[in-house]
Structure 1
Amino acid sequence: MKKMITTLVMLGVIHLGIAQQKQQRPNIILIMVDDMGYSDIAPYGGEIQTPNLSRLAAEGLRLQEFYNNSICAPTRASLLTGQSNHKAGIGFFNVNLGLPAYQGFLNKESLTLAEVLKTAGYSTLMSGKWHVGDDSIYWPNQRGFDRFFGFIGGASNYYDIGSYPDKVPPVPLVEDNRRLNLAPGKYLTDEITGHAVKFLEEQNRTNQPFFLYVAYNAPHWPLQAPPEDIARYKGRYAIGWDSLRNERIARQKQLGLIRQDATIAPDPEVPAWESLTYDEKKLWEKKMEVYAAMVDHVDQGIGKILDKLKALKKEDNTLIVFISDNGAQGGFIPTGRRRQRSSGPIGTAGSYDYQEQSWAHVSNSPFRSYKASAYEGGISSPLIAWYPAKIKGGSVARGTAHLIDLAPTFYEIGHAHYPATYHNFSIQPLQGVSLVSLFFSQREIDRSTPLFWERAGNRAVRKGKWKLISSYPSKQWELYDIDNDRAETRNLAIQQPQVVKELSAAYEQWANDNNVVDYDKIKPAGPAGFAGPTGAPVVPSNNKKQ
């Protein structure tokens, strides 16, 4: 009898230990915004009112150097799988170019965050933009998510505008494989936030940790926002883009995000603000007022998620990571189809305007270039990591991290085993490194291989302080010392031929290993996807006229 009691006690201790271990594993919330530049939010030097993100930064960690893949679908492919976008099957965009690395949807050899964390006992929840597989067999619920609400493609209206003269169809959405439309009068950012909060409420009935992925489409075009949010920025942008960019850069230096002697990238295509007429200034002011309102409204949504965490008494055991999928977009939108005619003023349900290059130059301060480019303005993202029990508040670290590093980070803190096989498929090894020591101890990342990029012929390598880059259609390598010239204003390729030789050889090996194809051999005929075949504008930018 005594032996039986001892055994039962031991079993009870073991079960208690397992339960405590489950409770100790943190919840994980990954928040990503769309087409937002490096400097747009207050913690990165912006004037847009983002008090909730400012709180997360004040209580958490900011990285100076966090990299994405320069454009929507390839970024999401690497984010969700921890692979290069080519290894995951989205080497170009969410269109099929006829090769496995360019099939336009996530392959089965690349496991999603949801699939891996689910095997570790996590509830897996998603609200927002998917964009890594249009066919229903590749939707979120088929790739590991217990709950999903959002839209499948790359862009969406924020309001139902079916009643306007253009007779545009209702906004198509999906909830757990069921098709539905955005209800008239609803604002999509609110619906994404609302479903994230609802999923947290429902998940609280379980005793599991959760992984929540919130993929906002704001501030991606079209410029549409609630009028009360737009009103808060009335007159704020009358100073113009030249002065605003100077303001942001000064704050970035003050915050320790860039060096006091940081180089600043010019853009000769951006006209001087004072060269515009009064009417032109008023038009451009309005664009930025609405853009700011869209970012502001996302921050309000993040505040509601934080409030729910607090109400559920889970805020002390939750890691939150906030990023953007790429830099702000320059030039005109090359859709490959007739551009939708606006049937309402900028900011309203009928608006199809977007930020455009002159303001995007401010958003990407102090960097060079825009979305779809491998220059810093295209691939640099803010990253805020918040975990009150583990991350020191108010810290800023260099980082030099990439999307592919988040999967191993989440798996480490979630005690999730990354398998070699899954449902009879051989699974590709993770390509990134865990950021746990960076997040929790601010130790430098121990990365044995460089970081690489290729998308639509734009190529880059980052190793230590050096960055090698070529911008399609040119195949000529440029070399920059990112430590001393992150704005990429001084090409050192001629002065450092040995570095060019070493990094270009490393790129060729990586390209071969990741099934990258010379873009000239695979590029679509004519525009494909909303960014065109090169990811660059196909219509010359005119910053003075709409």
Structure 2
Amino acid sequence: MKRTCLTLTLILLALNASVAQQKPRTTARPKPDKPNIILVMVDDLGYSDFGAYGSEINTPTIDKLAAEGLRLREFYNNSICAPTRASLITGQYHHKAGVGYFNVNLGLPAYQGWLNKESLTFGEVLKQAGYNTYLSGKWHVGNDSLYWPNQRGFDRFYGFIGGASNFYDISPYKEKVPPVELVENNKRTNLPPGHYLTDEITSHAISYINESVGKPFFLYLAYNAPHWPLQAPAEDIARYKGRYAIGWDSLRKERLAKQVKLGIADPKQTVANRDPEVADWQSLTYDEQQLWQRKMEVYAAMVDRVDQNLARLLAELKRLKKDDNTLIVLISDNGAQGGLIPTGRKRPRSSGPIGSAGSYDYQEQNWAYVSNTPFRNYKSTPYEGGISAPFVAWYPKKIKAGTIAKGTGHLIDLAPTFYELAGANYPETFQGVKTNPLPGVSLTNLLFQGTELPADRAIFWERAGNRAVRQGKWKVVSIFPQNKWQLYDLETDRGETTDLAAQHPDVVKALNAAYEAWAKRTDVEPYEKLRPVAQGNTGPGGSAPPRQSNRVE
């Protein structure tokens, strides 16, 4: 009997110990799920082209994301398509990633024209952290199939490889023109006749997030709108009929007043002067005014269509119950495109009205200087109009609604931000190759706690001989071939109207020294050594770079 009691006592003690050991497991909080991440990039869109940044264009979905999330007043890109995408996708300055000039090979590793193996993509890093990785839209950082998205870490890809694409199949409008050539998971395909490319890019993105079961996903949604050619559905164009009869000067004033009201622009800040090449609206003939109105009507329709497609995407996230755990970031690759005829390219001949499948028209600087309100200059320059992007971040219940912050972030900051949120490790070596360390800083404290980034951090630019440095309130700019530093105080003069270089030579000297040190460690070469043959040079080593190397897409 005593032996039986002893046995029962030992069993009870063992059970109690087991329960005590298991109790913490049952009461411990589960780790939060990793967030889904959607990165949306639009193409050749100016700083003020969303309603949330001052525009009259109908963008209710984007405006909703902004109202429920965060906007930055100061977020920078690299002024032009391929260099921006190289920095964005890898988190590197674009020279370090191998795209120092464009997606063409100028004969040096920093200028090879495709992403090098030392610079890891979002796809490569986030896949190692358990993410499904998707890309729908524009690639533009490597033409050879060895460097396409599926070879650089993306599980699914649909879109086009180069810098521009028609939005419709134009073969019915123009003889001897092939269909719109696209790529889907390494296989060439065509845009179906009658379909609009912005819609197709979104439809594929939606299919990807539907297949992402059991894992978080990263989606890079890279629209080519509103990049040329100006092509949009007729019903979207019709909504803007007559809206632009007021002309560019009046519209710019209207946008600026809205920016001030929204808190995007400081009323004490300077505003860039109108480009002297832009004619006075009242000096135009009736027919000229009608032509220019049509250009902006179509441009607005292209932006409008992007917003409609983002509404489709948000609706699908909500249907799948993934909206509460998804971060969406929305930016532009550069400012609106100025230049009546882009350098190095003859204007293609249109075979249909502006907006139709046969149209090859541009927005041009007459309207682009409005798109870049209140800044100076356009795409491909390091003035604020060329490198300033709208920035919207939305993450329900995580980002405080209605936040507008100064920011002063750059493309290189997005990779460390996403990797921190995803719990992803950026490896020192990958597939036997030593990786380039990430130069950016995570924006998580800025997004979720409202903590500003360090004011003394320097940000650098170089592309085609155009250079700039931003540190604190100071910014120096040098335009090729003058190669002379201009200095601006961006706290009061973000319009870059007053050059202070003569008054503050010490500041210029310090920023120049910082630039030279950055250029050395980033493998930047003097542009004189690299100028494409069409601009009067044979390139490094005397070998002529490809003729298309000065093409601005």
Separation in 1 of the partners of 2:318 and 2:97?
36
> 2:241 matched to 1:234?
yes
- 1:61-114 C-alpha deviation (Å, 9 max, x unpaired): 000000000000000000011100000000000000000000000000000011
Separation in 1 of the partners of 2:53 and 2:548?
26
- 1:257-285 C-alpha deviation (Å, 9 max, x unpaired): 11112211111111111010000000000
Q: CA deviation at 1:331?
A: 1.0
Q: Of 507, 517, 520, which residue of structure 1 is paired with 2:528? A: 520
- 1:432-460 C-alpha deviation (Å, 9 max, x unpaired): 00000000111111366400000000000
Q: Of 49, 53, 57, which residue of structure 2 is paired with 1:48? A: 57
Asked whether the equivalents of residues 224 and 351 of structure 1 are also in contact (C-alpha less than 8 Å), the reply is yes
- 1:142-199 C-alpha deviation (Å, 9 max, x unpaired): 1010111000000000000112233211111011111101111010000001000111
- 1:395-430 C-alpha deviation (Å, 9 max, x unpaired): 100000000000000011111111100000001110
> Given residue 189 of structure 1, which amino acid in structure 2 is its aligned partner?
T
Aligned counterparts, 1:212-227, within 5 A: 212-227=219-234
> Match of 2:542?
none
**Distance verdict in 2 for CA 1:534–1:125, change over 3 Å:** closer
Asked whether the equivalents of residues 95 and 111 of structure 2 are also in contact (C-alpha less than 8 Å), the reply is yes
> 2:92 matched to 1:83?
yes
Separation in 2 of the partners of 1:105 and 1:369?
28
> Given residue 550 of structure 2, which amino acid in structure 1 is its aligned partner?
P
**Distance verdict in 2 for CA 1:332–1:13, change over 3 Å:** farther
> Match of 2:196?
187
> Match of 2:185?
176
> Across the two proteins, how many residue pairs are aligned to each other?
531
> Match of 2:257?
250
- 1:313-354 C-alpha deviation (Å, 9 max, x unpaired): 011111000000000000134364543210000000000001
> Match of 1:446?
454
Q: CA deviation at 1:474?
A: 1.1
> Match of 1:264?
271
Which segments of 5 or more consecutive residues in structure 2 lack a partner in the other structure? 1-10, 536-544
Which segments of 5 or more consecutive residues in structure 1 lack a partner in the other structure? 537-546
Q: Of 486, 506, 523, which residue of structure 2 is paired with 1:478? A: 486
Q: CA deviation at 1:515?
A: 0.5
Asked whether the equivalents of residues 68 and 402 of structure 2 are also in contact (C-alpha less than 8 Å), the reply is yes
Asked whether the equivalents of residues 335 and 531 of structure 1 are also in contact (C-alpha less than 8 Å), the reply is no
**Distance verdict in 2 for CA 1:532–1:8, change over 3 Å:** farther
SS at the partner of 2:390? strand
> Match of 1:109?
118
Separation in 2 of the partners of 1:448 and 1:392?
26
**Distance verdict in 2 for CA 1:28–1:530, change over 3 Å:** farther
Separation in 2 of the partners of 1:387 and 1:309?
12
> Match of 1:62?
71
Aligned counterparts, 1:19-418, within 5 A: 20-21=30-31, 24-203=33-212, 206-266=213-273, 267-334=275-342, 336-418=344-426
Separation in 1 of the partners of 2:164 and 2:16?
63
Aligned-CA RMSD value: 2.2
Decide which structure has the larger Cα Rg and report it.
2
Q: Of 431, 434, 440, which residue of structure 2 is paired with 1:423? A: 431
SS at the partner of 1:512? helix
Q: CA deviation at 1:535?
A: 5.9
Separation in 2 of the partners of 1:532 and 1:236?
38
**Distance verdict in 2 for CA 1:529–1:151, change over 3 Å:** farther
With the length of structure 1 as denominator, give the TM-score of the two structures.
Answer: 0.94
Asked whether the equivalents of residues 320 and 386 of structure 1 are also in contact (C-alpha less than 8 Å), the reply is yes
**Distance verdict in 2 for CA 1:503–1:388, change over 3 Å:** same
**Distance verdict in 2 for CA 1:342–1:419, change over 3 Å:** same
With the length of structure 2 as denominator, give the TM-score of the two structures.
Answer: 0.93
Task: Point out 4+ residue stretches in structure 1 off by more than 4 angstroms.
Answer: 1-14, 527-532
**Distance verdict in 2 for CA 1:5–1:198, change over 3 Å:** farther
- 1:199-223 C-alpha deviation (Å, 9 max, x unpaired): 11111xx211110100000000000
SS at the partner of 1:165? coil
> Match of 1:543?
none
Separation in 1 of the partners of 2:546 and 2:57?
30
Asked whether the equivalents of residues 34 and 216 of structure 1 are also in contact (C-alpha less than 8 Å), the reply is yes
**Distance verdict in 2 for CA 1:529–1:390, change over 3 Å:** farther
Asked whether the equivalents of residues 263 and 487 of structure 1 are also in contact (C-alpha less than 8 Å), the reply is yes
SS at the partner of 1:371? coil
- 1:121-161 C-alpha deviation (Å, 9 max, x unpaired): 01101100000010111000110101110000000000001
